[in-house]
Amino acid sequence: MLEVKGLSAGYGEGDVIHDISFTVNYGENLCILGENGCGKTTLLRAVAGLIPASGEALLDGENLMAMKRGEIAARIAVLSQSAGAYFDYTVEETVMLGRYRHMRGRLFGGADDGDRAAVEEALEATGLSELRRRSILGLSGGQLQRVFLARTLAQQPRIIFLDEPTNHLDLKHQLGLIEYLKSWSSAGERSVVGVLHDINLARRLTDRALLMKEGRTLYLGSLAEAGPALLEEAYGVDVAGYMLDSLKKWEVCADVSKSL
Ligand SMILES: Nc1ncnc2c1ncn2[C@@H]1O[C@H](COP(=O)(O)OP(=O)(O)OP(=O)(O)O)[C@@H](O)[C@H]1O
């Protein structure tokens, strides 16, 4: 269970996020939503111990802020926007990097059977087995994002933090990623905490939402019950109206599909 209590953090000149609290039980997911710059990434960074913070972040009752980065990384993996590939590694070598923290603790280093099995499982889950020998420099943006997902899975964390990981992915792969992570969390008593700009995608991942506004909690609860006014306050636009309007524009397709 991840418990965040009264967390505040920033980058040196005052706090950017203020007094944030939420709980995520294993098997449950949470999406973090809000307009650009409201502090979503900062919140993930603070919980993952990447920037200093005040307040509490507990994982299974243990204080994350007192843990070394490596200890946190063994439990929480971060999957963010694909930053691109700069090294001539193969797909398999890149996924193996997800085992780095596990290998580092061993006397003689190097990959063991457990590492190889974890990489194999991750390659299979992401449909990358056949690309394993390819250099990541020659992959498309979407393929590369799947490699990064595989590397995250190979880490075998109990919690994955998603930071808008769906850029570069077409609709099919966006949906595939979210559906996969949903089953990953529910099947293994694990959790996904996700920053997703697409509110529809967020709802596919989970109905539990933390809406942020200017670094503070605007709402914590069911996304379905948040209501149009709250969404408008969070995003500064009429989100529900926009979605209904979009739906109307596609109604013609729905009518056609009904008649088939
Ligand atoms: N490394 C940094 N140093 C200083 N300020 C930063 C840094 N990263 C982010 N900020 C500032 O912190 C605030 C929150 O940024 P953050 O990236 O957490 O927002 P966000 O909600 O994730 O935004 P987006 O939706 O655009 O990704 C912004 O005002 C941003 O300029």
Cα-Cα end-to-end distance for the chain: 47
pLDDT digits (tens, 9 = 90+) for 12-53: 889 999 999 999 999 999 999 999 999 999 999 999 888 999
Enter the pTM of the model: 0.89
What is the residue whose two structure tokens read 């949470």?
30
Ligand 1, atom 24, residue with closest C-alpha: 36
pLDDT digits (tens, 9 = 90+) for 201-244: 999 999 999 999 999 999 999 999 998 899 999 998 888 888 88
β-bridge partners, 183: none
What is the residue whose two structure tokens read 């590939």?
85
Ligand 1, atom 31, residue with closest C-alpha: 37
What beta strand segments (E) does 42-146 contain? Answer: 53-59, 62-63, 76-80
Q: Which protein residues touch ligand 1 with a CB less than 6 Å away? A: 11, 16, 34, 36-42
ipTM for the assembly? 0.98
Chain centroid offset of residue 174 CA: 12
CA 39 – ligand 1 centroid, Å: 6
pLDDT digits (tens, 9 = 90+) for 63-106: 998 888 878 888 999 888 766 667 889 999 999 998 887 776 66
- Which of 7, 13, 16 has most ligand 1 atoms within 8 Å of CB, for mutation? 16
Chain centroid offset of residue 116 CA: 24
User: What is the C-alpha separation between 44 and 31, in angstroms, rounded?
Assistant: 11
* 70 token code pair: 């490596």
pLDDT digits (tens, 9 = 90+) for 122-170: 999 888 999 999 999 999 888 888 899 999 999 999 999 998 887 778 8
Cβ distance 99 to 155 under 8 Å?
A: yes
Ligand 1, atom 2, residue with closest C-alpha: 11
Nearest ligand 1 atom to the CA of 17 is 14
Ligand 1, atom 28, residue with closest C-alpha: 37
